[in-house]
């Protein structure tokens, strides 16, 4: 068999079961879930690897629940999703009639990305309703393959998955399979902090910073994480911390929230800022932080 690989972007209104479905799709064939920001593609959420294929799933995180923001955010995501998806996975809740996102629908209809509709939560419905909903959506998006499923109960998720594999383009993996499966959780956790540093500080600060996870303890109900942010000079330390510690606090809060989504557990995050003088110019330090020198 020739190798297949591609990006599957999951879109849909809030609360329709996108994350539940992704967990089903990724979980059963667990490889890795990451929250790493990519430069060329948007956020990767789940990667599934076998010898024959690699699927890179993206969920839509953080859609805000006000009508305007939601719409905005949907639109932005759909724009990117249409550009870089190999397959669109549109999750619709049983009973959901599309009236809110007409523009989004237009975009989807106009594109030529293969599309699968997951008609979710059929456990809450009956056959007749499911049939009429399928007909409704088939008319809206004629080229879509529609699968009535229950993400929660794992019902019919396998047929949907098989169709995904069929539609997946032939190609080499995008991400190194060995490397991904070998990366410890700690790596992804440090990447989340690094991402926030990139978001909130300017100029050389992000580049002069390195994140080190000092300890990662899963206590069952909560995960305790101790992280060090290493910078090159004392002035940078001051900038990272900010006036009254506000800047660092913001990084901490945002990172913790992302970690909780990523790890699916409460997180207690402690961060310290330390100076490791000119670490970027020292071979031994670079090696210590995991860079090839
Ligand atoms: P998201 O906001 O689209 O990511 O939705 P979630 O995956 O977080 O699910 C929202 C809610 O719907 C949760 O309470 C899920 O347990 C529930 N849910 C998801 N799939 C199903 C399903 O197939 N049947 C039922 N009854 N509930 C579901
Ligand atoms: Mg979700």
- The predicted-structure confidence for 68-112, as pLDDT tens digits, reads as follows 555 566 566 667 777 788 999 999 999 887 645 566 778 888 888
Architecture in CATH for domain 4-167 = 3-Layer(aba) Sandwich (3.40)
Write the CA distances from 2 to 30, 56, 168, 171, 259, integer angstroms.
Answer: 22, 18, 11, 8, 36
Q: In what order do the strands lie in the sheet with 53-58?
A: 32-33, 46-49, 53-58, 4-11, 87-93, 115-120, 145-148
Residue 99 pLDDT: 47
Helix intervals (H) in 125-263: 127-140, 157-167, 177-182, 185-200, 205-208, 234-241, 246-263
Q: Measured from the CB, is residue 11 less than 6 Å from ligand 1?
A: no
Residue ranges of the chain that CATH labels 3.30.300.20: 185-288
In short, whether 152's Cβ falls inside 6 Å of ligand 1 is: yes
The pLDDT of residue 63: 40
Evaluate: CB of 17 within 6 angstroms of ligand 1. yes
Residues, beta carbon < 5 Å, ion ligand 2: 18-19
Angle in degrees, CA 288, 195, 243, rounded to 5: 95
Decide which of 53 and 292 is more confident: 53
pLDDT exceeds cutoff 50 at 39:
no
Q: Which atom of ligand 1 is nearest to the CA of 16?
A: 3
185-288: which CATH number, 3.40.50.300, 3.40.50.20, 3.30.300.20, 3.90.650.10?
3.30.300.20
Q: State pLDDT tens for residues 189-237.
A: 888 898 899 889 988 888 889 999 999 888 889 999 999 999 999 999 9
Best of 11, 14, 16, 20 for a ligand 1 pocket test (most atoms within 8 Å of beta carbon):
20
pLDDT band at 35 (very low <50, low <70, confident <90, very high): very low
Ligand 1 proximity of 19 Cβ (cutoff 6 Å): yes
């Amino acid at each position: 068999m020739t190798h297949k690989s591609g990006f599957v972007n999951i879109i849909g209104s809030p609360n329709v079961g996108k994350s539940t479905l992704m967990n089903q799709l990724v979980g059963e064939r667990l490889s890795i879930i990451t929250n790493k920001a990519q430069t060329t593609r948007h956020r990767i959420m789940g990667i599934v690897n076998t010898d024959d294929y690699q699927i890179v799933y993206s969920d839509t995180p953080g859609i805000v629940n006000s009508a305007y923001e939601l719409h905005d955010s949907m639109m932005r995501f759909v724009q990117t999703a249409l550009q870089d998806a190999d397959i669109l996975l549109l999750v619709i809740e049983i009973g959901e009639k599309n009236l809110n996102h007409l523009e989004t629908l237009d975009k989807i209809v106009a594109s030529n990305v293969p599309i699968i509709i997951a008609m979710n939560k059929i456990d809450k419905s009956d056959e007749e309703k499911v049939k009429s909903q399928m007909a409704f959506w088939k008319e809206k998006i004629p080229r879509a393959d529609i699968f009535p499923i229950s993400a929660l109960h794992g019902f019919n998720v396998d047929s949907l998955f098989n169709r995904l594999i069929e539609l997946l383009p032939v190609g080499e993996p995008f991400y190194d399979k060995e490397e991904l499966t070998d990366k410890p959780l700690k790596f992804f956790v440090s990447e989340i902090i690094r991402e926030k540093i990139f978001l909130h500080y300017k100029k050389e600060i992000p580049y002069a910073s390195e994140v080190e996870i000092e300890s990662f303890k899963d206590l069952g109900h909560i995960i305790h994480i101790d992280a060090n942010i290493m910078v090159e000079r004392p002035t940078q330390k001051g900038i990272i911390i900010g006036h009254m510690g506000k800047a660092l606090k913001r990084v901490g809060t945002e990172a913790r929230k992302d970690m909780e989504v990523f790890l699916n557990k409460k997180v207690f995050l402690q961060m310290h800022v330390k100076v490791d003088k000119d670490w970027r110019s020292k071979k031994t330090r670079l090696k210590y932080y995991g860079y090839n020198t």
